[in-house]
Amino acid sequence: MTFELLLVLAAGLFSIGLFGALSQQSIVMIMMGIELMIGGIIVAAADFWHFLAPTGSGQVVIVAAVVAMAVEMAMGFTVTTAIYRARQVDMTDMAQDLKG
């Protein structure tokens, strides 16, 4: 794997995630798009770390980003599941009416 190939992979992941997040109305699909975008950013960060500054601190930052992404997605899916169970709402248009 070369530096450029990994950057193309990261850009592809980010682009697919952006398309998924902007084109879907289901909350779960939007969250999956966001997760793909974050995955692309992490791949790009790992690429830069591996080829440009291979020190030990880069690994820590990438592992922290992966853990933060996992926690954020778990909390997001929990909230989405709670909203769906309470009001049978799984689309963003319907979720706008959930004030108060």
Based on its alpha-carbon atoms, the radius of gyration of the chain, rounded to whole angstroms, reads 17
Q: What is the pLDDT of residues 16-53, one digit of tens each?
A: 999 999 998 888 888 889 999 999 999 998 888 888 87
Q: 50 in helix, strand or coil?
A: helix
Q: Rounded to two decimals, what is the model's pTM?
A: 0.77
Residue 100: pLDDT over 60: no
Contact 49, 64 (CB under 8 A): no
Nearest by Cα to 19 from 6, 5, 36, 7: 36
